Amino acid sequence: MTLPLVVSQTFFTGMVILGIAGTFLVTLIILRYTVQEMRSNEMW
């Protein structure tokens, strides 16, 4: 049986890479605000 809308390999690979890249981005954002807020004493 052929299922409609089976994703392509590009979609599949892109999804996995998006997850990893997104994780990287979130880590960077946290570190960036950590440094910024520590400098301005606004972390806590």
Instruction: Give, as one character, the DSSP assignment of residue 16.
Output: H
3 binds other proteins (CB under 8 A): yes
CB of 2 to other proteins, least distance (A): 8
CB of 12 to other proteins, least distance (A): 5
End-to-end CA distance of the chain: 58
Asked whether the beta carbons of 32 and 43 are under 8 A apart, the reply is: no
User: What residues line the site for other proteins (CB under 8 A)?
Assistant: 3-7, 9, 12-13, 15-16, 18-27, 29-31, 33-34, 37, 42-44
